[in-house]
Amino acid sequence: MNRGRTISLSLPPFTRWVKRLILVYAGIYLLMAVMEVASPFAHEWVRFYLGLIPKLVMHGMVWQLITYSFLHFTLLHFLFNALALWMFGSQLESDWGSKRFVEFYFFCTVAAALTTVAVSYMHVPGLSPATTTIGASGGIYGLLVAFGVLYGESEIMMFPLPFLIKAKYFIWGIVFLTLVGAVQEIGGVNNFAHLGGLLFGYLYLKFLPRKGLMFATSERYFNARNEYYRWKRRRAAKKFEVYMSKHDRKVEFDEHGNYIPPEDGPRKGNGGSKSGWVN
């Protein structure tokens, strides 16, 4: 990982999933814009079923935890998220690889949605479980905090402004503004979605393995499965010991359930094997 270098935000590379996400967001935004003119009812229906409405999520519409991120309110809203995804996501995908990048992005997206749902039920003035939240900002803010943590000493050229700023100061400035917005209720529940993306993005980086959440989950699954099989083998060995002892034959197994051949025993005529088993 290269640290301490200057990164220009003007023309970053388009990596595979960054490009795909931006194209999908653009296509859906265009479709929604056409729908708003051609069929306002269909436009509102899509926003109702695919946007994030906490009370509907609590009644089983859990797909909204992801689908809300594919909708945007205005052209400026879409352009800001697409630009941030391009500028910060491309570097992360280049270093992490596509699999971990996509996992991290949607982890932050879902975490931001769950934060929004939780906060909407805290009876905060101005916030309601019926409020609709849309936009990719939850995942975007997760990318921002990841960039600030991993490339904090890198200098960013704030194109078109003619000055450089370290990435960590730029990112934590955004965090500060988001906190102020949440406290002052500027933008309502959306600021809490941003905070959710920031917080859980940071926790992901600090506490999950470098290979990602899916790797950690699969490792725990296989460890639990193997421990279960070892327990079954030990249990079967115990039962077999009891069975053989009732028939005046002694067998021994180790703590893992593996058979321990007797050290001494009658020599067999077909090779003198000490084991009581015939190969």
Task: Give the tens place of pLDDT for each residue, 164-223.
Answer: 788 888 888 877 877 776 666 544 556 778 888 889 999 999 887 665 555 556 555 556
Beta strands in 26-105 (DSSP E): none
Under CATH, which number does the domain 6-208 receive?
A: 1.20.1540.10
Question: What CA–CA distance (Å, rounded) separates 185 from 177?
Answer: 12
Q: What is the DSSP letter of 70?
A: G
Q: Hey, what are 62's tokens?
A: 């859990």
Average pLDDT score over residue span 136-154: 89
Does 47 have pLDDT greater than 80? yes
Q: Which of 73, 195, 59 is nearest to 138 (CA)?
A: 195
Task: Give the tens place of pLDDT for each residue, 81-134.
Answer: 998 899 889 999 999 999 999 999 999 999 999 999 998 888 776 678 998 899
Question: What CA–CA distance (Å, rounded) separates 20 from 15?
Answer: 9
Question: What CA–CA distance (Å, rounded) separates 205 from 212?
Answer: 9
Question: What CA–CA distance (Å, rounded) separates 198 from 175?
Answer: 8
pLDDT category of residue 268 using cuts at 50, 70 and 90:
very low
Q: Hey, what are 47's tokens?
A: 């926003």
Residues 180/69, Cβ–Cβ less than 8 Å: no
Residues 71/52, Cβ–Cβ less than 8 Å: no
Check residue 9 and give its pLDDT: 45
Q: Is 189 exposed, middle or buried (0-12, 13-18, 19+ CB in 10 A)?
A: buried
Sorted by where each begins, the domain ranges of the chain are 6-208, 212-279
pTM of the model: 0.70
